[in-house]
Each structure stands twice: as C-alpha cells, then as structure tokens.
Amino acid sequence: FMATRHREVAESESPSSKKQKSTPPKVALITGITGQDGSYLAELLLSKGYEVHGIIRRSSSFNTGRIEELYEDPHVDTRRLFLHYGDLTDSTNCFEIVSKVRPDELYNLGAQSHVKVSFELSEYTADADGLGVLRLLNAIRSAGLEQKTRFYQASTSELYGLVQEVPQKETTPFYPRSPYAVAKQYAYWIVVNYREAYGMHASNGILFNHESPRRGPTFVTRKVTRAVARIKLGKQDCLYMGNIDAKRDWGHARDYVEMMWMMMQQAEADDYVVATGETNTVRSFIELAFECIDIKILWKGKGVDEIGYCAARGREFVKIDPKYFRPTEVELLIGDPTKAKVKLGWVPKTTMQSLCKEMVAADIRLVEKGDYTS
C-alpha cells in the first residue's frame, strides 16, 4: 500500500516546481529519510515550515516505517512531504532529483551505515558512502545550484578510528579502521574540497554515536535494549555480544539532528564535532539496560568465555560470540564539542542513562504489541 502511495508521490508535481505564491517555504532534500536520523530531521524541518523532499530506495518490503506518521495523501494540495525513488549509486537519478527539487538545503544522510557490514560489502559501501557524496555535489553543480543549495554531509566519529588524541575534536588526525570509515573519509574531504574549490556552502557534521528508539536493531544499543525487552517478556533467553569493552560517546538522535539544521543556518559553512563529551563501555550500557528490568548483571570469565549473569536469579543472560568481533576495531571514542557549543550554542540534552531507559521502555512496548519487525 505504502509503495503504491510513494509512486504516486514521486510522479506528482511538487509546489516547488509550480508557480510560487507569496513567501515560498524553504525547500529541503534529505537522502536517507527512511533512516533513524532522516526521520527525526524530516519531523524537525516540517515543524519549521519547510517543504521536505526525501529520497527513498525501492525495496521488496516496506522501508518507510519510521516516516509513516509524517506521510500525507499525495492528493492533498497543502502537503509538504514529497518522496522520490532514488539511490546514491545512480548518478543520473541524483542529478534528476536535485535539478527538479532545487533544494535550499540538501542533507546527505543516506549511507550503508553499518561498520561491521562494511567489511563484507566493502565495494558497495565505498560507492554509496564515498562516491555517492561526489555524485550529489556534482549534481548541485551541474544543475547550476552551487550558490543556492547548502550541503550537509553526515560525517562520523569513525573517522578518528585508531586513537590519536582524546578527546577527539575537529583538528584531531583521522585514522579510519573500516571500509565504512575509509569511504566516509573520502566523503569528508570531497566536501571540504568543493567548499574551497567552488565556494559551495558545504559542511561536515562529525557526529559521534547517537541512538534512539528508532535506531536500527543491529546497532549495539538497540540490539541490547531490544534483547532486554524480549528477555523480560520471555521471548529470548540470552544476548550474544561482540567486543563489550569498546567505549562510545552516545547521544540522542533527536538532539543531534537539530545541530545538522544549525550548521546549515550559519553564514559560513564549516565542520563541527557533535558529541556529549562523555564515554561509556558497551558493558556498562548492557548493565544499565538490564537494571531497567531489575536484573543486576555481574561478570565472570575472560575474553570469549566471559559471561554476564544475575546471582539473584541464578541465570546467565549475556555471552560472547566472536562472530560480532570486527577485523579492526575502534576502541575509544569521546568527542570534544567545544566548537559546536561556542558557535552553534550546542547543549547536549540527553544523558546515556535517560537514553537507555527510553529505549528499553519503547522496546518493551513494541514486544508487548507483538511487533518484531521494528
């Protein structure tokens, strides 16, 4: 049903291509609108009065669950959300959408975003996450929009990879540790290069990990909170994990998309770290999530034999499965968001504790409803 509706949307004419009335709304184009960040950003921009265009991929099953609430009937004249089929690996498609939509702001959030998967899909990841950015920048130029369209690139703390300096800030050298991060390094520099070469308003948001109840279920936080919910409701016995000693600077996706928008409102394009400035181990996130369902996790054993158990319940809940280890790991991420604080007024609003509680509660509701797909 949604797929049919999307086709109608993609083929219909949008207000930006019609004759404008009085003050036209700002027009934004979001790649990756069906993802975690894309859905929060679309909500934010719609709430600010933008006309929002999103690129969605053709899929054999629905991939629009996160933006279902925002969907508007294509036959309603006042609608402000428009969806287009597209893919960052298709240059012609990128050009056609950019030249048709003529966005004031283009947010490039689309990517094969899973670090572990990038070791298996290395070439595809390079194409979509690296060259995809070049395709969009060239589309803006070819459409003659380089002085109109502002560009946001979803850069990442994964660029820092092997620790060179802590906390990590805009000037910290990059040392990418995965095909994903290497592709994102190309993306980062092509954005800087087009800014310098062609005077484009193109910015990199170097965002540290950010999570939410909408986080994909194979990323670590959501994998844990979903498992905790399923264990509480008797749908799962044990949680199998990879490297639980990795440390991450976790924030909330809803807070972070505001910073994307803030970067685009600055007179000058620039690159910013967005982070909370606090770091925690995967192990402590697991402990916190289990605490939400009154299970105190203790640890015994070492390495792949380590086990998380609860003495009071006399049961084991967490085990290590080396299949989740990565060929090269990023052990420690902790960001210094001083520049974003000073120039953008960034204040991280959500602690890891409240984020974890919110995610566990949301997953319990989903499991209670019998929803295993989200």
Q: Does 207 bind ligand NDP (CB under 6 A)?
A: yes
Residue 105 touches which member of ligand GDR, ligand NDP, none, C-beta under 5-8 Å by kind: none
Binding site residues, ligand GDR, CB under 6 A: 113, 115-116, 156-158, 208-209, 218-220, 223, 241-244, 246, 248, 282, 324, 326, 329-330
Would you say the C-alpha torsion 77, 81, 85, 91 has a positive or negative sign? positive
Q: How far is the CB of 174 from ligand GDR (least distance, A)?
A: 13
Find the catalytic residue in 158, 211, 287, 358. 158
Contact 253, 214 (CB under 8 A): yes
Rounded (10°) angle between helices 282-291 and 352-368: 60
Annotated catalytic residue 156: yes
| Dist CA 95 CA 331 (whole Å) | 39
Residue 15 binding target from ligand NDP, ligand GDR, none, CB below 5 to 8 Å by type = none
Residue 154 makes contact with ligand NDP by CB under 6 A = yes
158 is an active site residue: yes
By CB under 6 A, is residue 185 in contact with ligand NDP? no
Strands, E, within the chain: which ranges? 27-31, 51-56, 81-85, 105-108, 150-156, 202-207, 210-211, 239-241, 247-248, 251-252, 271-274, 280-281, 298-300, 307-310, 315-320
Residue in the structure block whose two tokens are 């210094």: 336
- Give the H or E element holding residue 3: helix 2-11
Q: Which sign, positive or negative, has the C-alpha torsion 190, 31, 207, 35?
A: negative
Of the candidates 31, 118, 168, 225, which one interacts with ligand NDP according to CB under 6 A? 31
- Using CB under 6 A, which of 25, 72, 85, 89 touches ligand NDP? 89
* DSSP 8-state class, residue 168: B
* Residue tagged active-site, from 50, 107, 180, 272: 180
Q: Please choose, out of 1-9, 32-40, 236-244, 307-315, the segment that lies near ligand NDP by the rule CB under 6 A.
A: 32-40
| Cβ at position 114, least distance to ligand GDR in Å | 6
Would you please indicate which residues are annotated as catalytic (active-site) residues?
156, 158, 180
